[in-house]
Amino acid sequence: MIIPAVVLSSALLIGASGCKPKNAGDATGSDAAAKVYVPPGKYDEFYNFVSGGFSGQVSVYGVPSGRLLRVIPVFSVDPEKGWGFSEETKPMLNTSHGSVPWDDQHHLALSQTDGVIDGRWIFANANNTPRVARIDLTTFRTAEILEIPNTAGNHSSPFITENSEYVITGTRFSVPMDYEPGDVPIESYKKNFKGTVSFISVAPESGEMNVAFQLLLPGMNFDLSHTGKGPSSGWFFFSCYNSEQAHTLLEVNASKRDKDYILAVNWKKAEEYFKAGKGTKRPAKYAHNVYNDETHTATSTMNTEVTVMDVKDFPDIVYMIPCPKSPHGCDVDPTGEYIVGSGKLAALIPVFSFSKIQKAIADKDFDGDYEGIPVIKYEAALHGEVAKPGLGPLHTEFDDKGNAYTTFFISSEVVKWNVKNLNIIDRIPTYYSPGHLSIPGGDTKKPYGKYLIAYNKITKDRYLPTGPELSQSAQLIDISGEKMKLLADYPSIGEPHYAQSLPADLIKEKSVKIFKLDDNKHPYATKGEKESKVVRDGNKVHVYATMVRSHFSPDNIEGIKEGDEVYFHVTNLEQDWDVPHGFAIKGAINAELLVMPGETSTFKWIAAKPGIYPFYCTDFCSALHQEMSGYIRVSAKGSNVPIAFSLGKNSDPDAAAGTPTP
C-alpha cells in the first residue's frame, strides 16, 4: 500500500515535468559557412542598402558576407565625414524650422525603370522632420533633400512608381494643414487634423525632386505603401490604421475597430486632374537642398507654395478596402494582381485581387463610405485569406517563383506561402521578433530571389553582450530551395527598418573613383600650389589651400587677428584612386574635413584667442603622412602683423635660438 502510493505520486510529478516540449534550437545546414564566405580579393554578389532608423543614415552591406561597406550620411550630421560641418554640406540639413542635425530614417526605395531596379538612385525618408533624400549610386552620397509640407510623421515614405515618375509619401501623424490655423485643441482631431499623400516628381535625367501635388485625406495614420504593377499599374496602395481617429492612448484607442483600411489611389487619374490645373495652390514653406558634384557645394532654397487636391472634390481617385486589425504592411506581388495586407494584430493574412477590386468599383459594390471615400465590400475585393499563419504579421516580399514571405513579430518567424493558392509552405524562426525582411528585387516586377534578410527588433543573446545597448540583429536566409535555410547572423548599425538590394554588377563599374580637377567649378577651388593664397576681406579671411602627398600649401600662415572668421577652402589635388586627405585645427569648434581627390571643401574657424594653432591631415595618406601639418599664427586685436603665407620657407639655421628674425 505504502509503496504504490509513493510510486503513484512521484510518477504524477515526474509525468507533469516531462511534458515540456523541447526547443527547436537554431539549425543551420553544414554548408552554410561555404555559402556566406567571400574569399579575400573577391566581391559580394549584392549591394544591400539598409535604413539606419534612429541613426538617420543609410548603411551599405555586402551580401552574402554581411560585411559593412559604408555608412552614408543622410539626415544626421557625421563629424567623421564633415557632413553637416563643412560649409558646403551644411545647407543639406536646412529645413523650414532651421538646421536640423538628426532624423529617423525608416524606408528606402531604389529607382526603377519598367518595374525593374535600374541602379541610378536610392530614395530615403526622414520620419521626424518630413523630408525625402535622393542618394546618388555613383558617388554613394546624398545628392538632394526635399522637405514635405502639410504633413507630420513622414513614415509612410518613400515609395516609388514603376518608372520612377513619382516618389510617394504619406502622413503618419495627422495634423492641421500648414495653411490652416494650427493652434487648435488636440481633441478637435476629427474636425481639424488631416493627412496627406504627396506625389514627388522625379526628373528623368537629373533625378531632381519636386512636390508635384498633394492629396488631402481624412485624419488617420497612413502606414506602408507600394505601387501597382502590370494590371494595377497607375494605382498605389496604402495601409491605414487609426480609422477610429483617436488622438490619445492609440495603443488601445486605435486598436478598437475590427477592420481598418487599405487606401487604393488611382494616381494616374489624380495626375490627369493635376495636369488639367484642377488642384488648389496653397501657401507653404519647405526647403529644397541640392548638392552639386561640380561645384562640390549644396544650395538650399525655400519653396513657398504647393498644390493640394481634396479627395472630396475628386470622388473617383481614392477607394477604401477594409483590412483586418491595424494593418502595417501593404505589399503588391510581382504580377501586380495580388495585394497583401498585414494586420499587426490579425490572426490571418488577407490577400486582395486587383481585378476583383476593379470589378467592385465598376459594379459600385460598396459598403457605405469612410469620411466620404467609398468603401469597397471586403468579400468583393478579397482573393482569399492565409489562415493561421502566425502571430503579428508585419511585412511581405516576394520571390521569383510565385511565393510570398511574411514576417511575424510576435511569433518571431518568417513564413513562406504561395500567393495563388494561399497554402503555407514553410516557416523559420528569427532571433528575435522581425520587423521587415528584404529580398533583392522583392518588391519589384522581377525579384532576384535567392536570399532573404530578416531584420529583427530584439537582439538579447545573439552576440557577445555589449552592456545594456545592443546592436540590432539580422539573419541571412537562403530561399533558393523549397525549404528556407538559415545561413548567417550579423549585427547592424542603427535600427534597420527596411532594405533594398541590387546585384553588385549593376552599379559597381559606374562607381566614381576620383573627381576630375579640371571639372571642379567650386568658387574657391585652387587648382595648383602656385595659386594658393590667403586673402583678407574685412574680418573674414579666405585661405585658398591645397593638399597633396604629403604637405599643405600654404602651411605657415600669419596675420590672422583675434575674432576673425577664417574659411579654409582646401582642394585635394590628387587625381589618384583612394587618396583622400583630412583637415583639422587644434581647438576648433568644428569636426574634420575629409576631402576626396579633385574635391574642394571649406572649414570655418573662428580665431578666438591669440596664439599658435597647428593643423594637420587626419586621413593616413602616405608614408610621410605624419609630416603633413602646418601652423597658423593668431595675433591680438589691433596688432599690425600682416597677412603672410608660405610653404617651405624654413627658419635660418644660423640664427640664435630666441632671437626674433626680422
Partner 1 sequence: MNDLIKSNNLPTLSKALVFICCLLLVIVLFVPLWQIQLDAPQYPEGLILRMYPHKLAGDVEIINGLNHYIGMKELFTKDFIEFTVLPYIIGFYAFFCLLVSFMKRRGWLLGLFIAFAGFGVIAMVDFYRWEYAYGHNLNPNAAIQVPGMSYQPPLIGFKQLLNFGAYSIPDVGGILFVLVGVLLLVALLIAYKKRKK
Instruction: Kindly list the residues in this chain that would bind partner 1 in the complex (CB under 8 A).
Output: 1-2, 5-6, 9, 13, 16-17, 19-21, 23, 251-252, 255-256, 345, 347, 391, 410-413, 429, 431-433, 458, 460-461
Rounded-to-integer distance, Cα 105 and Cα 128, Å? 9
In the bound state with partner 1, the residue whose beta carbon lies nearer, of 127 and 459, is: 459
Rounded-to-integer distance, Cα 313 and Cα 273, Å? 11
57 forms bridges with which residues in the sheet? none
In the bound state with partner 1, the residue whose beta carbon lies nearer, of 235 and 431, is: 431
Spell out the SS3 assignment of 198-251.
EEEEECCCCCCEEEEEEEEEECCEEEEEEECCHHHCCEEEEEEECCCCCCCCHH
CB of 594 to partner 1, least distance (A): 40
Residue carrying the nine cell digits 545546414? 29
CB of 392 to partner 1, least distance (A): 8
In the bound state with partner 1, the residue whose beta carbon lies nearer, of 196 and 255, is: 255
**Sign of the CA dihedral running 6, 11, 14, 16:** negative
CB of 457 to partner 1, least distance (A): 9
CB of 385 to partner 1, least distance (A): 14
CA distances from 395 to 306, 384, 401, 489 (A): 32, 17, 18, 20
In the bound state with partner 1, the residue whose beta carbon lies nearer, of 411 and 418, is: 411
In the bound state with partner 1, the residue whose beta carbon lies nearer, of 429 and 630, is: 429
Contact call for residues 30 and 487 (beta carbons, < 8 A): no
In the bound state with partner 1, the residue whose beta carbon lies nearer, of 86 and 255, is: 255
CB of 456 to partner 1, least distance (A): 9
Phi and psi of 333, rounded to 5°? -70, 165
CB of 467 to partner 1, least distance (A): 16
In the bound state with partner 1, the residue whose beta carbon lies nearer, of 253 and 556, is: 253
In the bound state with partner 1, the residue whose beta carbon lies nearer, of 21 and 39, is: 21
CB burial class (10 A; 0-12, 13-18, 19+) of residue 562? middle
In the bound state with partner 1, the residue whose beta carbon lies nearer, of 16 and 276, is: 16
CB of 394 to partner 1, least distance (A): 14
> What cell does 125 get?
525618408
Q: What distance lies between CA 27 and its chain's CA centroid?
A: 32
CB of 465 to partner 1, least distance (A): 12
Which ranges in 336-433 belong to alpha helices (H)? 354-362, 378-381
In the bound state with partner 1, the residue whose beta carbon lies nearer, of 392 and 449, is: 392
Beta strands 209-218; 297-310: pairing state: parallel
| SS3 state at 32 | helix
CB of 544 to partner 1, least distance (A): 58
Rounded-to-integer distance, Cα 163 and Cα 204, Å? 9
CB of 408 to partner 1, least distance (A): 9
Q: What distance lies between CA 204 and its chain's CA centroid?
A: 21
* The one-letter amino acid at 22: K
CA distances from 351 to 53, 261, 417, 436, 642 (A): 29, 13, 12, 18, 77
